[in-house]
Amino acid sequence: MTRFAFHRSALAGVLLFGPLALAQAQTISSGIGIPGTTVTTGIVGVTSAQTARLNVLNLQPVIPGVTAVACPATLEFYDDTGALLKQLAVTNISPAAAASLEFKPPAPTAAVNSRAHIRAVVFTPSTSVANPGSEPTPTLVIPVSIGLGCNVMPSLEIIDDATGDTRVFTTDLRATPAFRLLSLPVGARSR
């Protein structure tokens, strides 16, 4: 490969994948580098008289006599600049059970009706199953999405602290694009 071809390929890679890297730069989730699924809500406003609650329900049913697949999840709240506000790492959400994380914005300083603009993020790592066969080293099997692994349904609600009423409720979360940075050897020349 000539030097010009290498530079042209590198430039094409930057143009193709650069926007994804910049878009991901705001959210540094605990799941970076770990295979899994990350979903996020849009931005919502929360006043100091309200509480945001992120709920995650494990959709795996309880099946008598069957051992459930582990369902870890990380629940997070970010502000509108991408700064992490609050985080909860759950090692396992039992089948048909839920985990929650609440965020209460600080009391406003001087602004009347000031709001904290936040979004919720849920990361669920991919789960794998070891095959305890007769081989000395177990074979690693990566489950496909046919009911294997952790299947969760997140929701976000904004609750009025005075009445306990839910003011906003959404299950509309969007998957964030997954990408990996590949290292390219620099200075390698083909002959």
Residue 140 lies in a domain: yes
Sequential DSSP letters for 100-147: EEEE-PPPPSS-TT--EEEEEEEEEE---EEE--SSSSPEEEPPPTTT
Residue 10, token pair as written in the block = 């590198």
Q: Which H or E run contains 4?
A: helix 3-24
Residue 185 lies in a domain: no
Average pLDDT, the chain: 75
H, E, C per residue of 5-28 = HHHHHHHHHHHHHHHHHHHHCCCC
Residue 121 lies in a domain: yes
- pLDDT-derived band of residue 70, with 50, 70 and 90 as boundaries? confident
Residue 54 lies in a domain: yes
CA distance 21 to 24: 5
Q: Is the pLDDT of residue 45 over 70?
A: yes
Residue 12 lies in a domain: no
Pick from 117, 118, 142, 116: which is nearest to 129 by CA? 142
pLDDT of residue 97: 95
Q: How many domains does the chain have?
A: 1
| Residue of 161 and 109 predicted with greater confidence | 161
Q: Tell if the pTM clears 0.75, that is, is over it.
A: no
Q: Which of 19-28, 44-53, 144-153, 179-188 has the lowest mean pLDDT?
A: 19-28
Residue 113 lies in a domain: yes
We report the CATH number of the domain holding residue 167 as: 2.60.120
Q: Is the pLDDT of residue 7 over 70?
A: no
Phi/psi class of residue 82: alpha, beta or left (left: φ > 0; alpha: ψ in -120 to 50)?
left
Q: Which of 3-12, 16-25, 41-50, 100-109 has the lowest mean pLDDT?
A: 16-25
Greatest CA separation found in the chain? 75
Residue 70 lies in a domain: yes
Instruction: Give how far the C-alpha of residue 103 lies from the chain's centroid of Cα atoms, to the nearest Å.
Output: 17
pLDDT of residue 179: 55
- pLDDT-derived band of residue 176, with 50, 70 and 90 as boundaries? confident
Q: Is the pLDDT of residue 123 over 70?
A: yes
Domain housing 103: 30-175
pLDDT of residue 129: 46
Backbone angles phi, psi at 120, to 5 degrees: -110, 145
Residue 13 lies in a domain: no
Q: Is the pLDDT of residue 113 over 70?
A: no
